Structure 1
Amino acid sequence: MNTSDETAVGGLREALRGSLITPQDPGYDAARSIYNAMIDRRPAAFAQCVDVADVQTVISFARDTAAELAVLGGGHSGPGLCLVDDGLVLDLRPMRWVRVDPETDTVQVGGGSQLGDLDHATHAFGRAVPAGIVSTTGVAGLTLGGGHGYLTRRYGLTIDSLLSADVVLADGSYVTASADNHPDLFWALRGGGGNFGVVTSFTFGLHPASTVGGAVTLWPVDRTTEVLRWYREFLPAAPDELYGFFALLVVPPGPPFPEPIHGQKMCAVVWCYTGDLSDERLAETFAVVNEPAPPAFHFAAPMPYPALQSMFDGLLPEGLQWYWRGDFFETVSDAAIEVHHKYGENIPTGLSTMHLYPVDGAAHQVDDADGTAWAYRDAVWSGIVAGIDPDPGSAEAIRQWCVDYWTDLHPHSMGGSYVNFIGPGESQERVRTTYRGHYDRLAAVKRAYDPDNLFHANQNIPPAPD
């Protein structure tokens, strides 16, 4: 994009209700700051859209000027796909709003909203949408990738609660995609990423969730083998009301963790229980944590669902160095456990981690496994290895640990990954593998709705040839 063309830039600035920010403007560095500080890109301009008309204007400008276009929602993209050097960023962050309709038990969410916005609004009605574990995650990126979180075993993937999406297409037209309107587009949006248009709002069905049983259990990292062998059998057989993701981590230096274990490498399970929260039932539910080995720490208590969702926000603020890669797993083999134990013993920094998120339970109990673009309904876990640190000087160390860990673990996976966990520099083949037999249909939908691949700053699915 040529920002020296003052006539073109001035015309776009005048056409927007929102702001246009270029490198000469004082808010430029703040605008290009996203969650992952390892990403340092310098777009030519940020078009901060406040409504659908602004989105249409920006898309038309990008199409007419052949500007490289990226779409920025919550800004949590690990590979930084929401920014493009020397291009135009369609910035949805001003479109950050939530409207709950208690009569229909639905919620409509603006395309720039974060999970914390959604959780805050729905919690007032004792409702929630199954989505994520960090409240600063963008609703748009998480949903378009499929979406999983604390409520997935009980209520399914995020896309299983999606009822419709308002979308501005590559030709500038505006449609509402649902099961009855543009059904192919609606199918593709549920897991196909940002390939098909700019979603300006999402409408979700709501589920009962107010106070949940939140818990954290830690074991010394040298017990990883015993704990993982227990966890891989226990969790899939547990009632759908019980969710627990497995983690390898370094104990943070603060409450609720006692000082003697601060800084120690541990394996852990972070729990969410949506069943009976009486003291007796809660104690009975979590008594199982003693089965694999005596915990070094265990905490369990009823808490508001948004409190559980935001529990890691303080540890993981915007501005850290991140490098991640992921995979799906049908089982956790003995060979995979050896890999986890090895790299858990060698976590390079205090924030680096590995998580195994359950994607079974209600996520498996769908009428049609091919009914959405999400292609791994048979996966039991969605795993991520994440090297994290505040110091830019640690970037290479955390990247290498992540790549080595993933390289050793990948042969024990199902081959594909949650699309939001595909890391920087991974091949186009990884995208194809992630969509399995759905890839050709996605490419056909892409041809129908974005034949010139305007929306390609993503985990891209090029349009199928004519």
Structure 2
Amino acid sequence: MSIETAQGVLGDATIGELEAALRGTAIRPGDPSYDEARAIWNAAHDRKPALVVRCAGTADVIRAVEFARSQNLLIAVRGGAHSIAGFSTCDDGVVIDLSAMKGAWVDPVRRRVRAQPGLTWADLDRETQAFGLALTGGLVSSTGVAGFTLGGGVGWLLRRHGLACDNLVAADVVTADGRLVHASADENADLFWALRGGGGNFGVVTSFEFELHPVGPEVLGGLIIYGADEARQVISGWRDLTAKMPDELTTLVNLTTAPPLPFLPEAVHGTRIVVVAGLYAGPVEAGEAAVRPLRALGTPIADVMGPIPYLGMQSLLDPLWTRGAHNYFTSAFIEPSDAAIDSVTRLHLTTPTPASEIHLHQLGGAFGRVPEGATAFSHRDASVLCNVIARSPEPEGFDGHAAWARATRGEIARHGDGSMYVNFTGDATEDKVRASYPDAVHDRLVRVKDEYDPANVFRLNQNIRPSSMK
């Protein structure tokens, strides 16, 4: 069956030639699995690609890139399919689906893991925890390893072990011209620098090599929940505590609405709450002492902070973040001044849906000790990352919810320098991409783009446009 696209008609023979060259599969419109294959985690993006190429290995990735270029088709690259901005799908183009590439090889002696790009953090954590090892992973375990890492990677081990991208030691990349190149500190070093925070701009990563660290299997972690009437007191106290917290402890404050969880009193369900969450990446006994001040920030409604398997902590929030809802995420690096806390607490009361939230992520520690410019990920001197999330199970009214998130971010960003976290830019407009990088870093990213993707083949991302397209 031929496929009609905006670029022309893909004949059956042309598609058949691609299929014959694949070890994986090419899924077309009309195939029984097409609707499942085209769907992504964020239902706000309902796209209809011309083909979904489900790759079985690196050779399939090369063939998919070559095919898309030969037919002048847009390329979307998909790992875990969590792209909030919808970059892992497209209309009329080719989705290079890496979800079947789930190999993971752990070297417990060298404390390294080689990971394929279809892995989620749940997948990778299970492999590394078999040896009592881990690296900074996503707060929701269904998040894909690939996109999370390439944009930075903020998680529970950030203050002890840095971002996910800080733990990347090498990568294999299929470039826009179909070459497979290896990137590390010693080989294609500029590309390696760009992969650590520059997103998916430079090719398709088919293998990541990460440094691992002793973590778990049991850690001290969980949630302490306060009422919204204590929000300002709790956040101000948390801010003051962060100045002297040990690096082993990474915390965040979540201003949200209480879901019907069994450990919350029924009278609290549906009311606004403030959640202080954290993980201590060290001995549990030391963690108990480190989190004790968090229990005195106010009068807790519930306290479920205690010993927990690291795998349990990594999946603790999963039930609240299932696929199929409509999501819009945006962000700002801020300083938590009294004025900023006033803004955050007031804006919490305006959230448009029960699942819409404002997060304050503690930074510093190992994150802040990486020299500025050592990776494409920047803003190492920031103390707090604020994420603003609009989320709804239904499409009705979602444009208004997203507008709330943009306006809320705009107000909160006044308490910083306007910079953003590249994985949570909301929209992929050029001004928001520029707000993710200092000028010198952006200029260097453009030079790497010029070398590896001068035609901007990989442009479904927080796009770094090559200099020829300025």
Shorter-normalised TM range: over 0.9
Q: 2:297 aligns with which of 292, 301, 314?
A: 292
Q: 1:263 aligns with which of 253, 270, 281?
A: 270
Residues 33-432 of structure 1 aligned to structure 2 (within 5 Å): 33-210=39-216, 211-278=218-285, 281-329=286-334, 331-366=335-370, 368-424=371-427, 426-432=428-434
Q: TM-score, normalised by structure 1?
A: 0.96
Cα shift at 1:285: 2.7
Matched residues in 2 for 1:432 and 1:400: separation? 21
Q: 1:19 corresponds to which residue?
A: 25
Q: Deviations over 1:223-268 (max 9, x none)?
A: 2211121122211321101111111011110233232322221112
Could you say what secondary structure the match of 1:196 adopts?
Answer: coil
Matched residues in 1 for 2:116 and 2:129: separation? 17
Could you say what secondary structure the match of 1:364 adopts?
Answer: helix
Q: 1:441 corresponds to which residue?
A: 444
Judged with a 3 Å threshold, the aligned counterparts in structure 2 of structure 1 residues 256 and 82 are, in CA distance, closer, same or farther, namely: same
Residues 444-463 of structure 1 aligned to structure 2 (within 5 Å): 444-463=447-466
Say which is worse superposed, 76-85 or 410-419, in terms of deviation. 410-419
Matched residues in 1 for 2:399 and 2:178: separation? 41
Matched residues in 2 for 1:337 and 1:381: separation? 12
Matched residues in 2 for 1:38 and 1:374: separation? 27
Judged with a 3 Å threshold, the aligned counterparts in structure 2 of structure 1 residues 3 and 257 are, in CA distance, closer, same or farther, namely: farther
Cα shift at 1:283: 4.2
Say which is worse superposed, 227-236 or 147-156, in terms of deviation. 227-236
Cα shift at 1:122: 0.6
Q: Percent identity?
A: 41
Matched residues in 2 for 1:257 and 1:285: separation? 24
Q: 1:31 aligns with which of 23, 37, 42?
A: 37
Cα shift at 1:358: 2.1
Matched residues in 2 for 1:236 and 1:200: separation? 39
Q: 2:11 aligns with which of 5, 14, 29?
A: 5
Cα shift at 1:290: 4.3
Count of matched residue positions in the alignment of Structure 1 and Structure 2: 461
Could you say what secondary structure the match of 1:17 adopts?
Answer: coil
Matched residues in 2 for 1:407 and 1:438: separation? 23
2:333 and 2:413 in contact (8 A); partners too? no
Letter of the 2:23 partner, please give it. R
Cα shift at 1:103: 2.3
Q: Deviations over 1:56-111 (max 9, x none)?
A: 10111112221111111111111101111111111111112211111221111111
Letter of the 2:333 partner, please give it. F
Q: Deviations over 1:163-217 (max 9, x none)?
A: 1001111111111100001000000000000000100010101001011101211
2:117 and 2:145 in contact (8 A); partners too? yes
Q: Deviations over 1:347-367 (max 9, x none)?
A: 22221111122231111123x
Identify unmatched segments of 5+ residues in structure 1. none
Letter of the 1:328 partner, please give it. F
1:114 and 1:135 in contact (8 A); partners too? yes
Could you say what secondary structure the match of 1:434 adopts?
Answer: coil
2:276 and 2:294 in contact (8 A); partners too? no
1:164 and 1:204 in contact (8 A); partners too? yes
Say which is worse superposed, 72-81 or 94-103, in terms of deviation. 94-103
Cα shift at 1:4: 4.1
Q: TM-score, normalised by structure 2?
A: 0.95
1:289 and 1:295 in contact (8 A); partners too? no
Matched residues in 2 for 1:404 and 1:415: separation? 13
Matched residues in 2 for 1:394 and 1:465: separation? 39
Matched residues in 1 for 2:52 and 2:9: separation? 11
Q: How big is the alpha-carbon RMSD for the aligned residues of Structure 1 and Structure 2?
A: 1.5
Cα shift at 1:3: 5.0
Cα shift at 1:394: 4.1
